[in-house]
Structure 1
């Protein structure tokens, strides 16, 4: 490949991330371990998370510009929630199940990047949930996630 697509482009764009998070949060609300954590989420929650992931994966800055979010703001949502390792693992499992159900790109390179991001982000969420002090400065930029060690999608 002469140009390597972003993870956002490879996944299929905004609509794919919105379908993913919509299905995922429907599952979360039916899950006995996760439902208490998300019971009072706003009706826009899944869309905001879709915009966040899309932006991190190289998509448009919808989360920061239209949703008026920030990396520090996303971290703030997790402060003091006392998330557990079992909840984190279930969160990842349900998200990956949802990815399979919507037919999200399943090549090993993309899934490696996706799982890497989910592991990184969910572990930070658990760590940050044990404090009330936000470790992220308001001016800190959004994280950017790429292909990592694979360098791009597999091309036989």
Structure 2
């Protein structure tokens, strides 16, 4: 392997991210406090859009930007939800559990990158969801990287 793969590639591409997020949203639907943020049930459309978002953020195709409205659309979906720190923590915890349950790669570098974004993004979502929050109205969809620990590739 001559180039470091993206997190998206390392994780298994769209199929793997879709499997993970469907497991995650199934868990969310079992938790009334979280499920209320989605009207009690997470629609197939929402699941597909969030999968597209995560794929783009993790280095996959820029489809959320081109087809779903980019950052501004994601921001609009969080406005006014009043997400609490407790709900944020449960959300991130379920993302981690779902990664295990869905069989995503469990190497520490991948999980650190995946959960690093979950922490970062969920903390922004808490802020952006508050009434009258001062938010960045326009920004690109973030492109997450490996940070200080790229994946370990034996013999590379």
Q: TM-score, normalised by structure 1?
A: 0.90
Specify the alignment match of 1:79 in structure 2: 79
Number of aligned residues: 153
Please state how far the C-alpha of 1:134 moved relative to its aligned partner.
6.6
Specify the alignment match of 1:7 in structure 2: 7
5+ residue gaps in structure 2? none
Change (3 A) 1:43 1:2: closer
Matches of 1:19 and 1:146, distance apart in 2: 21
Please state how far the C-alpha of 1:131 moved relative to its aligned partner.
3.1
Please state how far the C-alpha of 1:132 moved relative to its aligned partner.
4.4
Q: Is the 8 A contact 1:72 1:134 kept in 2?
A: no
Please state how far the C-alpha of 1:32 moved relative to its aligned partner.
2.3
Q: Is the 8 A contact 1:28 1:38 kept in 2?
A: no
Superposed counterparts of 1:28-47, under 5 Å:
28-39=28-39, 41-47=42-48
Q: TM-score, normalised by structure 2?
A: 0.90
Please state how far the C-alpha of 1:90 moved relative to its aligned partner.
0.7
Q: Secondary structure at the match of 1:34?
A: helix
Specify the alignment match of 1:154 in structure 2: 152
5+ residue gaps in structure 1? none
Q: Once superposed, which parts of structure 1, at least 4 consecutive aligned residues long, lie more than 4 Å away?
A: none
44-53 vs 129-138, which moves further:
129-138
Specify the alignment match of 1:93 in structure 2: 93
Matches of 2:30 and 2:2, distance apart in 1: 44
User: What's the CA shift string for 1:40-60, capped at 9, x where partnerless?
Assistant: 654310111011010001001
Q: Is the 8 A contact 1:72 1:136 kept in 2?
A: no
